[in-house]
Structure 1
Amino acid sequence: MKRAHVMGIEGVGMSALARLLRAEGVEVTGCDLAPGKRAKALGVPVWPGHDPAHLGEEDTLIVPTPIPLDHPEVLEARRRGMRILRRMELLAHLLAQKPSLGVTGTHGKTTTTGMLASILLEAGLDPWVLLGGELSLLPGNARFGLGPRLAEVDESDPLFQGVGVGVAVATNLEKEHVAPEGKRAPNYHESLEALLAAMAGFLRKAAVAVLPVQDPLLAEAAQGLNPLRFGEGGDLWAERVALFPTGSRFRLVYRGKALGEAELRVPGAHNVHNALAAALAALAFGVPEEAILRGLARFPGVGRRFERLGEVRGAWVVDDYAHHPTEVRATLSAAKLLGRRVRVLFQPHRLFRTLELWEDFAKALEGAEEVVVLPVYTAGERGEVSPEALSQRIAERLAASGKEARFLYPEEALAYAKATASPQDLWLALGAGDVTELARRLVHEG
């Protein structure tokens, strides 16, 4: 591969791949429906939209999962005889070049990958890293290095089962990114059985699998394997856990031997879980214990994972990527440690997911003192229920349970949050869509 054209280059995963290809000497061009700061930061030619006319002298076309292979730009590349690679096919190819680690799971994979990156850096291993988020320890969402290769492997992409790594970490698994019955989409698994089969394929390709002690779906996917396990009753666990508003402290114990006191600068019990996953993967990879403890202590958190943006009228404004009921619960649990009144700007993400889980979202959001529900961020999906009506359901269910809740459009929500913020509040923006921009505006315009 000498010249590659990357479709959807603004996406966090695609931009990371483009950055790493450039570092390897590949000439990169790209296009995206909405090019933004990530694409611009790459310093390569990027066109708005998708069009066969974008193709020039490239020999390879990199295609993200949501784009169908009968797209005009893809068909033109095929007509020209270009090599066509899905993002997971390219990732599998890149990871095969060196000793590697891959992290997947429904929740926590970005943070766990970031923790592992911090550990490998602290060990002086000069890692190559691909991350599904921004980490201040890296040049954004990727790092080129000559050492081991570490990647976040997105389980929402059915092709992830084709990725082979030396150490495979699965943080957890839930029925997520599964298409509703009778519907198909390229970035959804056809069924829960298909998701389990894909996870089993990913785990079986690895030399070592690292899994939590308690996870029914992962246990089913890992049948016949002999994985390393983290959590109480496993190979690595945490003792004397103390949770604080901005982090935690615990003793790390490996097969009965105390490795030392671990400290985290990111809050919540869920991050202790993530740290155990990262630490056990690092041990399996042969990283010294001291580097593991230093790497965990150094980890600053990933962008949009309980990221404090600033204040508005004395209220803290925190942004978090939580877009599944389990993640919402974990984030609210961490938020409560701050001792402030937790008020939420919640933007559901994807129609199919919200249709399936709207009642679970309402239940999870009961952990907040107040919830403002925004219209669903559809990510291009279309359904029988409008984004507004679906979000209204969540707000109404919360109100019926006695919670202070309302449905508002983004500009209304911004005005309401500005007008009612007070020093005892924490305004928490939750969701994988553009609610993050609303949170940033709340800080800068408030």
Structure 2
Amino acid sequence: MKRVHIMGIEGVGMSALARLLLAEGVGVTGCDLAPGKRARALGVPVHAGHDPAHLGDEDTLVVPTPVPLDHPEVAAARERGLRVLRRMELLARLLEGRPSLGVTGTHGKTTTTGMLASILLAAGLDPWVLLGGELSLLPGNARYGLGPRLAEVDESDPLFQEVRVEVAVATNLEADHVAPPGKKAPNYHGSFGELKAALRGFLEKARLAVVPASDPLLEELSRGLPRRTFGEGGELQAVGVEFGPTGSRFLLTLEGRPLGEAVLQVPGRHNVQNALAAALAALALGVEAEAILEGLARFPGVGRRFQRVGEVRGAWVVDDYAHHPTEVRATLEAAKPLGRRIRVLFQPHRLLRTQALWPEFVEALALAQEVVVLPTYTAGEKGEASPEELSARIAEGLRQKGVAARLLGKEEALAYARDTAAPEDLWLTLGAGDVTELAWRLAHEG
């Protein structure tokens, strides 16, 4: 590859690939339906929209998962003889033949990858990193280095099973990114069975699988493979965990032998599990315990993972990417030790996910004292119910459980949060769409 054109280059994963290709001396151009700060920061030609006219003298076209392969720009590239690669096919090529680690799972993969990046940096290993989020230590969502290659491997893409790494970490697995019966989409698995088979395929290509000991599904999917386990019942454990409002500390033990005290700057029980996954993967790569503990202590958190962005009228404003019921529940439980009234601006993400999981969202959001539900962020999907109808189901379900809830548009929600904020509050913005803008506007406007 000498010159590459990347469709959807504003996306966090695609822009990370662009950064890494540029660092290797590959020429990059791109296009996106909504080019923004990530695309501009690359300093390369980026077109708005998708059109065959964007193609120039490139030899390769990189296509994000949601774009169908019969898209006019893809068809034009093939007619011109360009190599067409899906993002996972490109990632597989970049990892090929190198010391490598890959992290996948429904929840926690970005944070676990970020923790691993921090550990590898503390060990002085000059890692190459691809991350599905922003990490100040890199900085940004990618880092070029000559050491081991570390990648977040997105399980939502059915092609992730073709990625080969030395150490494969699976944090957990749930039936997310699974298409409803009778529906198909390139960024959805056809069934939960297909997703499980894909994860098995990813794990069995690795030299070693790293999985949680207490997860029956991952125990089954990794059975018969070389593996190491973490968490309750595993070889690497957190003993005597002390939870604080903004982090935790615990004794890290390997097969009962103390390795030292681990201190985390990020809150919640789920982040202890993420730290154990990262630590065990690092041990499997040969990293010393001292560097692991230093890397975990240095880890500041990934952008949009319980990220405090400021205050409004004395209320804290915290932004989080949680967009699945399990993630929402974990985030709200992590917020409890702060001792503040938890008020949520929640933006459901994707029509198919929300249609399937809205009752579970109700159960998870019921941990908050108040919830403002925004219209569902469609991410380009079309469904039988409208974005407003799906969100209204969640708001009504919460009201039936006795939780103060309302359905508001973005601007109405922003005004309501600003006008009613009080010093004892925590305003928490949740979702994978553009709700993050409301967090920053709430904290920094007016």
Mark yes or no: TM-score above 0.5: yes
Q: What residue in structure 2 maps to residue 26 of structure 1?
A: 26
SS at match of 1:337: helix
Q: What residue in structure 2 maps to residue 183 of structure 1?
A: 183
Q: Does 1:139 align with 2:139?
A: yes
State the one-letter code of the partner of 1:370. E
Q: What residue in structure 1 maps to residue 99 of structure 2?
A: 99
User: Structure 1 residue 413: deviation in Å?
Assistant: 0.4
User: Structure 1 residue 219: deviation in Å?
Assistant: 2.4
Aligned length: 446
SS at match of 2:142: strand
Asked if the contact 1:174–1:217 (Cα under 8 Å) also holds between the matched residues in 2, the reply is no
SS at match of 1:140: coil
The residue correspondences of 1:296-375 to structure 2 (distance < 5 A) are 296-375=296-375
CA distance in 2, matches of 1:323, 1:272: 20
Asked if the contact 2:213–2:229 (Cα under 8 Å) also holds between the matched residues in 1, the reply is yes
User: Structure 1 residue 224: deviation in Å?
Assistant: 2.2
Asked if the contact 2:92–2:163 (Cα under 8 Å) also holds between the matched residues in 1, the reply is yes
Asked if the contact 1:344–1:368 (Cα under 8 Å) also holds between the matched residues in 2, the reply is yes
SS at match of 2:17: helix
The residue correspondences of 1:196-207 to structure 2 (distance < 5 A) are 196-207=196-207
Q: What residue in structure 1 maps to residue 121 of structure 2?
A: 121
Q: Does 1:219 align with 2:222?
A: no
Q: Does 1:285 align with 2:280?
A: no
Task: Select between 86-95 and 224-233 the one with higher mean Cα deviation.
Answer: 224-233
CA distance in 2, matches of 1:173, 1:391: 25
CA distance in 1, matches of 2:222, 2:44: 42
Shift >3 Å, 4+ stretches: none
SS at match of 2:263: strand
CA distance in 2, matches of 1:217, 1:192: 12
Task: Select between 96-105 and 22-31 the one with higher mean Cα deviation.
Answer: 96-105
Q: What residue in structure 2 maps to residue 270 of structure 1?
A: 270
- Deviation string 1:277-298 (CA, Å, 9 cap, x unpaired) is 0000000000001000000000
User: Structure 1 residue 227: deviation in Å?
Assistant: 1.4
SS at match of 1:273: helix
Q: What residue in structure 2 maps to residue 426 of structure 1?
A: 426
Task: Select between 415-424 and 220-229 the one with higher mean Cα deviation.
Answer: 220-229
CA distance in 2, matches of 1:401, 1:65: 38
User: Structure 1 residue 221: deviation in Å?
Assistant: 2.0
State the one-letter code of the partner of 1:360. E
Structure 2: unaligned runs, 5 residues or longer? none
Q: What residue in structure 1 maps to residue 242 of structure 2?
A: 242
CA distance in 2, matches of 1:19, 1:271: 28
- Identity among equivalent positions (%) equals 76
CA distance in 2, matches of 1:14, 1:357: 28
CA distance in 1, matches of 2:46, 2:133: 21
State the one-letter code of the partner of 1:22. L
CA distance in 1, matches of 2:282, 2:257: 16
Asked if the contact 2:214–2:233 (Cα under 8 Å) also holds between the matched residues in 1, the reply is no
CA distance in 2, matches of 1:439, 1:260: 37
User: Structure 1 residue 96: deviation in Å?
Assistant: 1.1
CA distance in 2, matches of 1:225, 1:65: 29
SS at match of 1:239: strand
State the one-letter code of the partner of 1:5. H
User: So what's the TM-score if we normalise by structure 2?
Assistant: 0.99
User: Structure 1 residue 304: deviation in Å?
Assistant: 0.1
CA distance in 2, matches of 1:264, 1:422: 29
- Deviation string 1:308-367 (CA, Å, 9 cap, x unpaired) is 000000000000000001000100011111110000000000000001100000000010
SS at match of 2:134: strand
CA distance in 1, matches of 2:361, 2:105: 19
SS at match of 1:201: helix
SS at match of 2:436: helix
- Deviation string 1:39-89 (CA, Å, 9 cap, x unpaired) is 000000000000000000000000001001111111111011111110000
Q: Does 1:90 align with 2:90?
A: yes
User: Structure 1 residue 398: deviation in Å?
Assistant: 0.4
- Deviation string 1:237-273 (CA, Å, 9 cap, x unpaired) is 0001000011000000001110000000000010000
Q: What residue in structure 1 maps to residue 79 of structure 2?
A: 79
Q: What residue in structure 2 maps to residue 405 of structure 1?
A: 405
CA distance in 1, matches of 2:439, 2:391: 19
User: So what's the TM-score if we normalise by structure 1?
Assistant: 0.99
SS at match of 2:260: strand
User: Structure 1 residue 235: deviation in Å?
Assistant: 1.0
CA distance in 1, matches of 2:163, 2:41: 28
State the one-letter code of the partner of 2:330. A
Asked if the contact 1:173–1:215 (Cα under 8 Å) also holds between the matched residues in 2, the reply is no
- Deviation string 1:65-123 (CA, Å, 9 cap, x unpaired) is 10011111111110111111100000000011410000000000000000000000000
- Deviation string 1:134-172 (CA, Å, 9 cap, x unpaired) is 000002000000000000000000000000000000000
CA distance in 1, matches of 2:223, 2:186: 27
Asked if the contact 1:119–1:294 (Cα under 8 Å) also holds between the matched residues in 2, the reply is yes
CA distance in 2, matches of 1:265, 1:250: 12
SS at match of 1:345: strand
State the one-letter code of the partner of 1:444. H
Asked if the contact 1:196–1:220 (Cα under 8 Å) also holds between the matched residues in 2, the reply is no
SS at match of 1:242: strand
Asked if the contact 1:105–1:154 (Cα under 8 Å) also holds between the matched residues in 2, the reply is yes
User: Structure 1 residue 378: deviation in Å?
Assistant: 0.6
The residue correspondences of 1:222-233 to structure 2 (distance < 5 A) are 222-233=222-233
User: Structure 1 residue 385: deviation in Å?
Assistant: 0.5
User: Structure 1 residue 223: deviation in Å?
Assistant: 2.9
